[in-house]
Each structure stands twice: as C-alpha cells, then as structure tokens.
Structure 1
Amino acid sequence: MRRSKAFIPTTKEVPSDASLPSHQFLVRGGFINQQGAGLYNYMPLGKIVLDKIRAIVKEELDKSGCIEVQLSFVTPMALWDRSGRADDMGKEMLRIQDRHQNSFVLSPTNEEAMVELVKNRVNSYKDLPLNLYQINTKFRDEARPRYGLLRGREFLMKDGYSFHASTEDMIREFGLMEQTYKNIFTRLGLDFRVVQADSGAIGGSGSKEFHVLADSGEDTIVICDSCAYGANIETIDSIDDEYNEFTYEELQTKNIEEKCSCGGVLSFKKGIEVGHIFQLGTKYSTALEANFNDENGKPRPFEMATFGIGVSRLIASVIEQNHDENGCIWTKSTAPYMVNVMVSNIKEAPQVELGEELYSRLVESGVETMIDDRKERFGFKMKDAELIGFPFTVIIGKELANGLVQIYDRKTKEKTSVNKDEVFDKIMELI
C-alpha cells in the first residue's frame, strides 16, 4: 500500500473522552472513529487488524473441530421469554418491534437462537457431539459505554455452543475449548491468565474467564506465581470479603495471607476479560424442549456448553498491553503492516529508487508493506510511523550516500544501520 494513496487520517488531537491508551491511539492513529456513544467505525487500518484477529480465531476453532455458522443479528423475543432470560438481561438487551408489532431483540448473545437452530435437526446421539460457532455482531445497551472498544455497545464477538449426549463429554469439550482459547491468545502475542469465574446471567455449573493482564483492566484477579491457578476476586469469598473495599492501587500494597494450594504466593493483578467459557448443562435445552434420542431411543435434553471471545475487544487489549508514549506497538500477528518503507526525501531520486525496489521485493515476497512516499518532513513521517506502530520501519535517508539505510524496531526503539544491498535479507530475517 502506498501511503500517498491510503486513507489513514492520523491526528495529534486526543479525544476528550479517551482516558485509556488504546482508545487514544486507535483514534489518533486512524484505526477507528466514533459514530455515537459506544459505537465505532473501523477505518482501513482497524479493519485489517480486526480481520487478522478474526482469522486466527477461526483457524484455531476449525482446527479443533468447530463448525462455523452465522445467525441473524435480530432474534425473536419469544425465544428469550421461553428460556426465562428476558428479564435477567435487563436494559442491556435492546428490544425493538417491527411494523407488525412483533417483538425482537438485537442479540447480546445467542444461546436460545443456536438451540433453536439445532432443535429437531439433530435427533440422535449418533450426531453428537456438535460444536457450532459464529463471529458476528452483538449489541448490549451499556449504561455507561466507555474506554473505546473495551466497553462499547456494538461489538464483534465469537460465540460458540456445543451439544452433547453426556455431562462427561460436555466437560471434555470444555477442556478442549480452554486449550483452543489458550492457543488463540498465545498466537496473538498476549500475556494472559485463565481464571475461575462467576457464570452470571449466562448460567451453568462452572465457568472460566480469560484475562489479558493490563493495569487498565476492569477486573481484579488473583494469580499464583508458581502454578496456573487464577481466579476472579469476586469468586473467592474469603478474599473478596477482606479486600473488596480497597482500590486496585491499594491492593498492590497488600499481602494475601492465604497461600495457593501448591504453596505458591498469590498476588492481585488487573485483567481485561477477553474470553469466557461456560458449562451450561441442560439449562437451555430443557427450557426450549430441545431433545435427542439416546442409545435406547429415549428423548433426553442436550448437555451444552458455550464459549465466547470478544474479537473487537482484543484490538484494544493488544494496545493496552503494548504501547508507549508515542503510540501503538502491535504484535507481529496483529500489525496492519509488518514493514514501513520510509523515503525520507522524495525529491532525492536515489532514495525513491531504492524505496520502490525494496517495496516491490517485499510485496512480491508476501510481506505486508507500506511505502511512505508522501511529500512530508522526515520528523512528521516518523511520528506517524510510531503512532501507527509498524513493527519495522526502513528509513531511507541521508546515510544512503554511504550505502546505508536504517531499520527501526518499534518495540525496542533501536535503529540499526544496514548496507542497502543487505536490507531485504535483514528484514526477511527479522520478520
């Protein structure tokens, strides 16, 4: 992509309502813009990142045997009445009526709709297990939408639902999805923890949350320094009762007297919830009369589990964990472009010639590359590159007279001088 032809409206202005780095830098870097309270448009750079994250989620789910579908965003209210959840969701669920006065909701989640999809279409235990998922728009009418993509009203979510003939098989799938989610967040380059959680309005007998560790997180979690144990503080009565009146900053000065069962030291961390998995049992299948015939031909309700990932929330989570005072620092798997070829002065023919040659070679080699061919000052271009967060910027400038160019590593902020004839190989080595 040529920067002179791209639509990347960067700005120095910080949005007045943006208190978190991800909100500030995603708006300033031209990734998103606000359409209304809790409503955001994805501009070209934001759409590229969103699609990359979506692709990783899909690849790992498909590898684990999940099957993708897409449900209607608008769901009949009658389904929610039958499951008994219409009142549980409260005002977060936006209710609408069509011209015939039929009642619908803008889907905040889709347990009922997915059960209805499977009901009377999967009739035998021989057709189980089945794990269906979608990556689709959701709407929750947050009372106080804030923090940009971290707590918007409209968002992209992966929601999956599994159907089983036994509790044991449902628990097996629950474990498989836990590992699948770990694979997804690892591929995204995130530092995360899996914690015991409260099932809330979704219901069920047990659930786990996946938290990206970040000081800006809304949840306080307890983790062990010696094993994989973690829990949301609200699920630990002895700790919650003792520490719930303290702020997170105050909690950092407190010692948890309890030890982990492994003997390790427990500590408080802040987390951004990016995934949640639930063991549902027969809560929804019983309410919606969704049955299958077992080995003896007897009708039984499906055992179910449900699995969610906040796909659009992950964009902000990456930046909350990876940024500095100058802007975004994307992980390699989420960066909109891996390499930014910066021609410092487009009036200098040798710089332009080398820049075009390097750009063409990188693109032909399948490397996602931007060439900054704008008629702008070097300092302006460099500030833009840091704000956007390209992992590597090749600076073709005055050193070219000595046969050298510089490679700027966004994460380490190091500039390395490289012979112009070796820069392509060096970039390929770095990425």
Structure 2
Amino acid sequence: MTRLSAYLLPTEKQAPADAEAISHKLMVRAGLIRQLGAGLWTYLPAGWKIHRKVEEIIRQEMDAIGGQELLMPLLNPAEPWRRTGRIEIDEIFKLNDRKGTEMVLAMTHEEIVTTHVAQVVRSYRDLPQILYQIQVKERDEPRPRAGVLRTREFRMKDAYSFDRDEAGLDESYAKHIVAYDRIFDRSGLEWYRVESDVGMMGGTAAHEYMAPCAAGEDEVALAPGYAANVEVASGDPQPVEQQAPLPQPVEEHTPGCTTVEDVSRRLGVPAGAVLKAYPVIASGRGLVLVLVRGDHRVNEVKLRNALRTDVRPATPDEFATKIGPAGFIGPVGANAPIVLDDAVGDGGYVTGANRGDFHLRGVEPGRDFPFERADVRAVEPGDTVGGHPIRIEKAIEVGNIFKLGTRYATALGASYLDESGRQHPVVMGCYGIGPARIVAAAVEQFHDEAGISWPRALAPFDAELVVIARGETEERVFADRLYEELRESGLDVLYDDRDAGPGEKFADAELLGAPVRVTVGRRTLAGGELEVQVRRGRERLSLPLEGAADAVAELWRKLP
C-alpha cells in the first residue's frame, strides 16, 4: 500500500539555485532525486520506480530480439583497457588495489565482454550472440550538470552483438534498431534516429537516438527523410553571389579587418565570397590550412574524420612563419597543405594576403593554390537535403548504436574457426541506452508551469487519490474504500491521506504528475460524483460514484 502519509516524497517549493534544466528543477522539487555531490544523485523511492519502469521496457524489448542478460563487474583489471588503447581516456576512473594492481571503474564494457567471448567462443556454431546488461557505470565527467543528464555515476543498458561477418553484424544491427525504436515508442518520447560519429568507440557506422528538447547538449539536423547529428550532417549549401573573375589576384588594403564581417563590409562582398582560413595542427601531419566559405564554420569532428587523425587549432606562433600573421592569412603562397571544403565552388574569392592589413580579391582555387577536397563544414539552417531545407534542433542523446567491426576482437583475441577450420576475428556491435536520460527527456518534453506530466508508461503512479478531509470522516471512509477498489482494478495508486490542506495536496499532485488525479471531498460526495483530472492538459471530468474505480481505470488505459 502506498499512502503518502508514510511515503518518502520530500517535495520542494523552490528549485535548487544552480538548476538550469527543467528536468533538474522538477525532479528535485517533485521528490524524485537528491544530490550527494557533483554528478552524484540518489534516486528516492518515486524516482527509482520510474527508472525501473524504463529498465523493464528495455529488458522486454532486448529479450524479444534474443538478447541474453548478464552482469559484469564495475571494477575491471586495467590490462584489457590497455590492450585496446583506451586506458588513456581522460574520463576513466583509475585506481590501484592494495597490492598495487592497476584497476579501472568501467564507463562501458566492450573490453570485458570481449574478453569473456574470447574465452568461450571457439566455432562458427557459437555465433551469433547478443549479450546485454543494465549496470552501474562511472565516468570522471569534467562538468557534471543538468541533474541526471550528465553525471559521474549512472546506470546504463549496454548490449553487445557477436557475429561471424559483416553480413551477420548488419542483421544484429537491424534487430537492435527494431528494439530501440520500440523502446522509445513505448516510453512515450518524441525521438529521432540520426546518423552520428563513431567517436572513441571506433567502428564503421553509428546512429544516435535523440529526444528533442531545449536542455539538450546535442544538435540534430532534420529535413524530410533525413536526420543526422550536426557533427556528421551534410547538406547542399545556400547559394552565394559569385564575384567577377579576374586574370589574377588583386591586393586590397584592409587595415584592421581581421574578421570575415570586417572584410565583407569593407570590400562590399557577401560573407560567402570570402574564404575563412582555419589553421590546425594535425597529429602526424603538422600544420594544415583549412578553408571554408566565410558564412560557414569548420566542423572539427568532420575535419578529424577527413584527416583521419586528431587535430587542434594552431597558435599564431605556429603558423606565422609558414603562412602569415593572424587575421590576414590565406592560401596563396602558404607553406602548408590546404584542405578546401566541398561547399567552396568555382569562381573568385577574397582571401587573406598573408601580410598585415591586406587581402586578395579574385583568388581561384586550383589556379592560385593547390588543395585537397573534403566535407569539413558544419551544416547551417536553410541548407538543403534533396531540395528540402534543413532545420536544427537541440536534443538529448538517449541511446546509441555502433558497428564496431573487429577492433576489440582483434585486440583481445576473440576469434572463431569457420567450417573449413580457418580462423577469423569475431565481428562486433555495441548498443547503449541511458535510462536516466529517458526519464529526464520525458520531464523536459512533458511538463507545464505546475509540474511534470508523465507518459503513462513511465509515471511513478498510475493515479493519485486525494482526500479532502481531516480526521475520520465520511469522506475518508469512502476514500479508503475507493483506494482498495482502484488497486483491485489494476492501478498503482498513490493515496494522499495526509492531514494537509487541499492547496498543498493539489500542488504536490500536479508537481509529481501522475496521469490521473481523483479527488474525494464533501462536495463530490454530496453531488454523487467524483472529480477526476487528467494531468496532461489538466482536463477535469466528473464520474459517477457507482463503478468509479473501473471508470478511472478505463480512462487511464486510454491515455498516451
């Protein structure tokens, strides 16, 4: 039985002073979570109920595609992480045991699950396999923020597929797409599956599941039939007015004009007719000069992928002698390889002249400087895909899937023998979901000025019963009986039986956000009807007292 008079639900009138995200504010105020330290959160009983509901949806859909649940240790030997080269990731917590053995607190479990598969898989007959767990993870997050959205400790569902070849991986990947689509549909979220960067996971392909909301740290580029993280998104650029061709570049005096805006204004050309120079230091290659249109921005993820190495911005001292002074650098005469963005078309452009207070007009790629092509710019709103304009939305990443290939299998010796006795590395995929992020995304997407409005599948309680009475009154006797009838109808009910005023009870009920609120008071009993509120939209209804419990249950079943 869940009576609020005996239930730990410490609601608050004020949000934490440092809270910015709506989910942070409302989850604390609704008594769902409490902070222990930076990035460390305790789930109180109602909050943990919500988290467990998400986990149960995940389990059901993972089991439906043949997933087998296991549980791996949070504390790992460091050696497997060293063998894959991931031991140096800054966010990994590292420690030594009392014997001095180096250990790791896992932020994900590719190394460990692959180690086990290497020990037990011998033959092609042992494959395919899908293994998953819902386990605590630790991340030395440099900037914990937004409540449970970015934390140092969290629970994650991580799954791993093991196949004989790429065709098998494609099948496992497709199964996980089906499962993930179902999970997010059942959770009641608005979501997108978008193309994404493989990042530190490595591999050949990846998708992210994004829940759009203002608190999101990611951005997604969307158009009809197209969705991608802006880190990898591509589109056709908006056209720019081309400048008249010149026989050769002409030098223009541009004193103090160190920005695209300054140059565009002084020379009377659109920003897209200026080439923006972005010098970087590429690991293993040294200085590289990257050029994009002046109305575009360099996308460092796409640049890293294009150069196939890590990059960082070059300092003025690092490029001054090989190119020119900061604010006036350009490709003509530059002593560095040049990467030209794909969006830069033919025609004459304005570029830096590689000497202070001067630019060049009429510079033509190819004629005036050599280059290699690559898509290295960030898409912009208004770019197009298939003729349709792109829009960009903020979103929370709630899940991701990766085709890992053989990276981990090769490093950790996971192989099998085929029908002919030949040895092959196992082909892997990995698939993650953050239950806490689903919870936070639901709060972000479904709230109003009074509190949270949970999707039916995630709500901590199906209904909240509020009795407006003090002491043993007729109203309380009726509410006690109705509470039992509601439970018998299959609903999980929170009964607010506290000796408190109606204002406090209604405010707490709307803050917590159960899909249905049922109120029993003197006026309702006298009128022969119950007052019922549907939380989303705060629609009020009246139901006859006779058969009220079944009517409430039927109403609840029809809610989203």
For the superposition of Structure 1 and Structure 2, which TM-score range results when normalised by the shorter chain? over 0.9
The residue aligned with 2:526 is 401
Shift of 1:373: 0.6
Question: Contact 1:159–1:306 at 8 Å: present in 2 too?
Answer: yes
Deviation per residue, 1:11-56 (Å, 9 max, x gap): 1121111111110111111111001100000110011011110000
Question: Contact 1:56–1:187 at 8 Å: present in 2 too?
Answer: yes
Query: Secondary structure in 2 aligned to 1:150?
Result: coil
- For residues 23 and 427 of structure 1, the distance between their equivalents in structure 2, rounded to whole angstroms, comes to 31
The residue aligned with 2:285 is none
- For residues 401 and 112 of structure 1, the distance between their equivalents in structure 2, rounded to whole angstroms, comes to 66
The residue aligned with 2:452 is 328
Q: Which of 228, 232, 235 is the matching residue for 2:232? A: 235
* Residue 305, structure 1, aligned to residue 302, structure 2: no
- For residues 291 and 49 of structure 1, the distance between their equivalents in structure 2, rounded to whole angstroms, comes to 40
Query: What is the 5 A alignment of 1:72-91?
Result: 72-87=73-88, 89-90=89-90
Structure 2: runs of 5+ lacking an equivalent: 238-291, 300-379
Deviation per residue, 1:137-165 (Å, 9 max, x gap): 00111111000100011001000111000
Question: Contact 1:131–1:162 at 8 Å: present in 2 too?
Answer: yes
The residue aligned with 1:4 is 5
Shift of 1:181: 0.3
Cα–Cα, structure 1 residues 429 and 128, in superposed 2: closer, same or farther, change >3 Å?
same
Cα RMSD of the aligned pairs, angstroms, is 1.6
Q: Which amino acid aligns with 2:208?
A: E
Q: Which of 540, 545, 548 is the matching residue for 1:420? A: 545
Query: What is the 5 A alignment of 1:25-104?
Result: 25-87=26-88, 89-90=89-90, 92-104=91-103
Question: Contact 1:346–1:373 at 8 Å: present in 2 too?
Answer: no
Moved more, 391-400 or 270-279: 391-400
Q: Which amino acid aligns with 2:32?
A: F
The residue aligned with 1:251 is none
Query: What is the 5 A alignment of 1:3-402?
Result: 3-87=4-88, 89-90=89-90, 92-224=91-223, 226-227=224-225, 229-236=226-233, 244=297, 255-258=381-384, 260-261=385-386, 263-347=387-471, 349-397=473-521, 398-402=523-527
Kindly report structure 1 stretches of 4+ aligned residues shifted beyond 3 Å. Answer: 237-246
Q: Which amino acid aligns with 1:53?
A: V
- For residues 239 and 158 of structure 1, the distance between their equivalents in structure 2, rounded to whole angstroms, comes to 37
- For residues 412 and 429 of structure 1, the distance between their equivalents in structure 2, rounded to whole angstroms, comes to 18
Identity of aligned residues (%): 37
Shift of 1:206: 0.6
- After TM superposition, the score normalised by the length of structure 2 is 0.73
Question: Contact 2:489–2:549 at 8 Å: present in 1 too?
Answer: no
Shift of 1:244: 4.8
Q: Which amino acid aligns with 1:81?
A: R
- For residues 18 and 109 of structure 1, the distance between their equivalents in structure 2, rounded to whole angstroms, comes to 28
How many residues of Structure 1 are paired with residues of Structure 2 in the alignment?
418
Question: Contact 1:255–1:267 at 8 Å: present in 2 too?
Answer: yes
Question: Contact 2:235–2:383 at 8 Å: present in 1 too?
Answer: no
Shift of 1:238: 5.6
- For residues 143 and 489 of structure 2, the distance between their equivalents in structure 1, rounded to whole angstroms, comes to 46
- For residues 492 and 433 of structure 2, the distance between their equivalents in structure 1, rounded to whole angstroms, comes to 26
Shift of 1:237: 5.2
Query: Secondary structure in 1 aligned to 2:119?
Result: coil
Query: Secondary structure in 2 aligned to 1:49?
Result: helix
Deviation per residue, 1:186-207 (Å, 9 max, x gap): 0000000000000100000110
Moved more, 418-427 or 11-20: 418-427
- For residues 418 and 350 of structure 1, the distance between their equivalents in structure 2, rounded to whole angstroms, comes to 19
Query: Secondary structure in 2 aligned to 1:82?
Result: helix
- After TM superposition, the score normalised by the length of structure 1 is 0.94
Shift of 1:266: 2.4
The residue aligned with 1:249 is none
The residue aligned with 1:429 is 554
Structure 1: runs of 5+ lacking an equivalent: 247-253
- For residues 27 and 186 of structure 2, the distance between their equivalents in structure 1, rounded to whole angstroms, comes to 21
- For residues 243 and 350 of structure 1, the distance between their equivalents in structure 2, rounded to whole angstroms, comes to 71
Deviation per residue, 1:230-284 (Å, 9 max, x gap): 00111025689765599xxxxxxx74232x23x4442111110010100011000
Cα–Cα, structure 1 residues 301 and 199, in superposed 2: closer, same or farther, change >3 Å?
same
Question: Contact 1:233–1:239 at 8 Å: present in 2 too?
Answer: no
Shift of 1:423: 2.1
Deviation per residue, 1:116-151 (Å, 9 max, x gap): 111120111111100101100001111110001000
Deviation per residue, 1:363-385 (Å, 9 max, x gap): 12221001111000001000000
Shift of 1:392: 0.5
